[in-house]
Structure 1
């Protein structure tokens, strides 16, 4: 099959840390998924008076619409291009859904961070989960838009190119890596970056380097925002010494600059 991403898009992923895929899955699948999500909340989709919480977190979803959305032919081809054939595992669960509602309240979870990928010694403390320069377990951070998301609809904020600085931050910590607490405390000292909003129609997917710094934000729009951010898990470890795939090349590039 012909490659989905052009060489220019591959370069963009390596340098910026993300690529936007429009129409990665159908609007029909997105609607079917939203129907399931509404059934799992006390909020009424037709009565904004019931939308009293700024964010509702729902657990793992493995129903058909979610699995189909994560495993379209288009996405599989792009995974091969970004991570390498045979190096990733199909996504069979959509992970936690932070459903955001229009609200003047601070959601309390809008800090800058990266998604960590393996447990520390204290598995009960999520802030002790870790990431290392090899990106143990995680190939990509993925943002699946299950509702139309404009600039006022709490789109995820992305620090463009921040993955390169995070790679340099993680390198001295070796295989043990750093905890989420340690990483979060270090992010303000990293170079400032352009901020990009992950907007798009339902069916849009942002495929991000696992080290990309990102954050939530309050919802100032009118309709609830449905987004999932599952990891693409690794089947084989990344090779950052002799990189072949773009996700590896980005880390290699960052370390060569340090």
Structure 2
């Protein structure tokens, strides 16, 4: 028997950052093909769906259910190769913080449940206009649902009906729940729906389509906003199952939402719950306040160079403490519109962190400070998001307009080194894209 294979540190960080992970080779593709041929095809055929000649005159998709919710019976009802996969079990152990902290939920407790099919009828792929949702009882912090697991029985290519997701939206949903809890605001499905719709409206740029090979599995954080994607003509019938896990033997040592929120900030929870934690001191001060940003690679602080108040003044790193940089190293973090977006304002000049419009001679987009014109009050080029990087209060700081991270150019350590935006992931920039929030 193979030992369970835990997720790598990079895979855990990806799940925490993006809210999903495409887990490869959960089962061998030959086993996925066998399961498809011997179990799925007969089950769908019995319900008048021919997988080899899928209809194009029906709705976009269907939930095909059988006896007691299970469409597949016999030895394949629980698909042993999938549920016993050391790759899958290792991943779920990693995300929950241990094997004894999770169990299968609902239909997944005794089978693969119903089949979700997407009929290839769209002429051209476009993001879903509706159907966006989160799974489970996720309008409250105390939901027991933990991970959504979607096995790919057959390969899904771009435009083939893969699940559409808004990358990072699990943090936006969790952030509001955490804020409401700390304000003793009761959970509300109506407020949940309004916030979800706002996230969809403002984050069309962050929509991604899940694709993968037969035998892979898509793991989704329950707070991630997602929807069924359209399948285009010429693609095969898209087939998947909707499975879920729950937190097991897990009880918050407190009673009110406010107590739950405070407890989550003070403990060291699993990666699933860590996605919902507020960012150390920064967020404990109420989603705003004065801070210094210390580069992990250099130990120096983000600094408005020479205290320059001109529009386009460069931002660099300077000083091993906020005190050494003076007010040029102090920044006010201002929440904007919800959805986890912030402006970062220089205490020295009153101007806001943004990115130069043109590359410098080295091909870098340098970080600068500018005034926000009245007509650009909500402009994305002045907006940033904070992404927790494991424990210890480290964050990555993403520029919303460019989708790149705040980075010390070349990982330089010297005072006066320039700050740029670089790379879509921390892995690309390393410690040069990691920052520590310090009191200011």
Any idea what the Cα deviations from partners look like across 1:174-206, whole Å, max 9, x if unmatched?
796332x54232223235252221101121111
Query: Structure 2: any 5+ residue segments left out of the alignment?
Result: 253-263, 288-440
Give the distance between the partners of 2:154 and 2:130, measured in 1 at CA: 20
Query: Structure 1 stretch 76-85 or stretch 24-33: which is displaced more?
Result: 24-33
Selected match of 1:237 from 250, 254, 275 = 250
Give the distance between the partners of 1:194 and 1:21, measured in 2 at CA: 20
CA contact (8 A) 1:13 1:19 kept: yes
CA RMSD of aligned residues (A): 2.9
Instruction: Give the match for residue 62 of structure 2.
Output: 56
Give the distance between the partners of 2:145 and 2:185, measured in 1 at CA: 14
Selected match of 2:158 from 151, 157, 163 = 151
Query: Structure 1: any 5+ residue segments left out of the alignment?
Result: 118-129
Tell me the SS of whatever aligns to 1:226. strand
Of the two structures, which has the highest relative contact order with CA contacts closer than 8 Å and spacing of 6 or more? Answer: 1
Tell me the SS of whatever aligns to 1:43. coil
TM-score by length of 2: 0.49
Any idea what the Cα deviations from partners look like across 1:204-255, whole Å, max 9, x if unmatched?
1111111111111221142100012211122133763413311111111468
Give the distance between the partners of 1:188 and 1:46, measured in 2 at CA: 37
Selected match of 2:197 from 183, 188, 202 = 188
CA contact (8 A) 2:23 2:218 kept: yes
**Deviation at residue 42 of structure 1 after TM alignment:** 0.8
Is 1:112 paired with 2:132? yes
Q: How does 1:1-258 map to 2 (within 5 A)?
A: 1=3, 3-27=5-29, 28-29=31-32, 30-31=35-36, 32-48=38-54, 50-53=55-58, 54-59=60-65, 60-61=69-70, 63=73, 64-65=75-76, 67=78, 68=80, 69-85=82-98, 86-90=100-104, 91-92=108-109, 93-104=111-122, 110-117=130-137, 131-134=139-142, 136-171=143-178, 172=180, 177-179=187-189, 181-190=190-199, 192=203, 194-221=206-233, 222-237=235-250, 240-241=264-265, 242-253=267-278, 257=283, 258=287
**Deviation at residue 56 of structure 1 after TM alignment:** 2.1
Give the distance between the partners of 1:55 and 1:245, measured in 2 at CA: 34
Any idea what the Cα deviations from partners look like across 1:57-81, whole Å, max 9, x if unmatched?
1123364435222342221111111
Tell me the SS of whatever aligns to 2:215. coil
Q: Give the 3 Å change call, closer, same or farther, for CA 253–10 of structure 1 in structure 2.
A: farther
Give the distance between the partners of 1:168 and 1:97, measured in 2 at CA: 32
Give the distance between the partners of 2:10 and 2:113, measured in 1 at CA: 31
Write 1 or 2 for the structure with the bigger share of strand: 2
Give the distance between the partners of 2:158 and 2:195, measured in 1 at CA: 28
TM-score by length of 1: 0.81
